[in-house]
Amino acid sequence: MHSLNGRKIVVASHNAGKLREFSDLMAPFGFEAKSAKDYGLPEPEETGATFEENAYIKAFAAARATGLPALSDDSGLCVDALDGAPGVYTANWAEKEDGSRDFGMAMQRTEVAMQQVGATEPAQRSGRFVAVICLAFPDGEAEYYRGEVEGRLVWPPRGDLGFGYDPVFLPGGHDKTFGEMSAQEKHGWKPGEPDALSHRARAFQKFAEARLGTE
């Protein structure tokens, strides 16, 4: 197993929302975490059929280009009534013709699809956010850490915090959507604290416990 003693790591993402969350999560551990964008790296094409495959594509590309260990995340929303869609295509559902992303449009698209299959009652609107973190090294070695959070989709969207599909996702046992939660409520976690809530924070917690010596 490769060491992380160098305390430098590349966050293989260009997504501003993810970078903020990773920055918050990495802060307690004393790592110098710069993004792939900071290094001027292009975004690799995500051609994988699973979250694990796409996470590896991003992490390994950054590790190979910088010579440093790289951490990436591939995540998505899996809706039961839509047979797990949008899944690995979660970001694609937000893509516009000009290449930009509009998550308001993506949430609307998801709602239309659910209406079309008759998923109108709360019990029919279950789903989960999934995040897979990949830690990759320049030689191709990789490790994976998966986090999930169950919940249901609401409509109309609620809250303007977070990013992506957060305003329509109500995590189980809570009365606020991710879009209505502060960053601390959604993914705040430090060693010794109760388990994290968000899918990304849960995946990171597993990574931290395995690789950063937390308990």
Query: What amino acid positions are annotated as catalytic residues?
Result: 74
Question: Nearest CA to 90 among 1, 197, 163, 187?
Answer: 163
Collect all residues with Cβ–Cβ distance below 8 Å to 10 and sequence separation of at least 6.
Answer: 33, 34, 35, 36, 39, 62, 63, 66, 68, 69, 70, 71
Pairing relationship of beta strands 142-153 and 126-136 according to DSSP bridges: antiparallel
Dihedral angle over CA of 108, 174, 202, 57, nearest 10: 0
Do the beta carbons of residue 15 and residue 76 sit within 8 Å?
Answer: no
Q: Within 10 A of 192 (CB to CB), how many other CB atoms are there? A: 7
Q: Give residue 196's region: left, alpha or beta (phi > 0; psi -120 to 50).
A: beta
Instruction: Find where tokens 């999560």 sit.
Output: 25
Question: Nearest CA to 68 among 21, 3, 124?
Answer: 3
